[in-house]
Amino acid sequence: MPHVDIPHLDLPFHYHTHQGIVTVATVEQDSMSDIANCVETIMLTPIGWRDEAPTFGSPNLAFHKLPIGVNTVEQTVAEQEPRITMLISEEPDKLDQLVDRIKIELKGREGEGS
């Protein structure tokens, strides 16, 4: 298990067992795993859901006309997570025309992995 200097909880929340010791899984702060967790949290949190940060999260895209448009997603994430650049693609599901698949690929601003 790698050493973590500044731990952040890993997502989804889970435990590790190492030599009979159970610990909560963490990632290094500012690592690509941490940033990816932050982007996932932004996309899964409805705006207004967090009382302490009412503008945090993403708008409900459930009933938007397809295609949704990657600009909406890109702007939402970029405003709340400045540590990365993104490559976003969008395509309709092959089996269900009412489902839109949005893929977000991340790259660190200073080129530190993806």
Inter-CA distances, 10 with 41, 60, 86, 103, Å: 11, 24, 21, 20
pLDDT, tens digit (0-9, with 9 covering 90-100), for 51-95:
999 999 998 887 877 788 788 889 999 999 999 898 988 888 888
In-domain check, residue 103 = yes
User: pTM score, two decimals?
Assistant: 0.79
- Cβ atoms of 1 and 18 within 8 Å: the answer is yes
In-domain check, residue 2 = no
- Domain with residue 12: its CATH number is 3.10.450
Question: Which residue segment(s) compose the domain that 12 sits in?
Answer: 7-108
Instruction: For residue 69, give the DSSP letter.
Output: -
Tell me what the pLDDT averaged over the chain comes to.
Answer: 87
In-domain check, residue 104 = yes
Confidence at residue 114, expressed as pLDDT on a 0 to 100 scale: 45
What's the structural domain count of the chain?
A: 1
Confidence at residue 27, expressed as pLDDT on a 0 to 100 scale: 94
In-domain check, residue 39 = yes
In-domain check, residue 113 = no
Confidence at residue 38, expressed as pLDDT on a 0 to 100 scale: 94
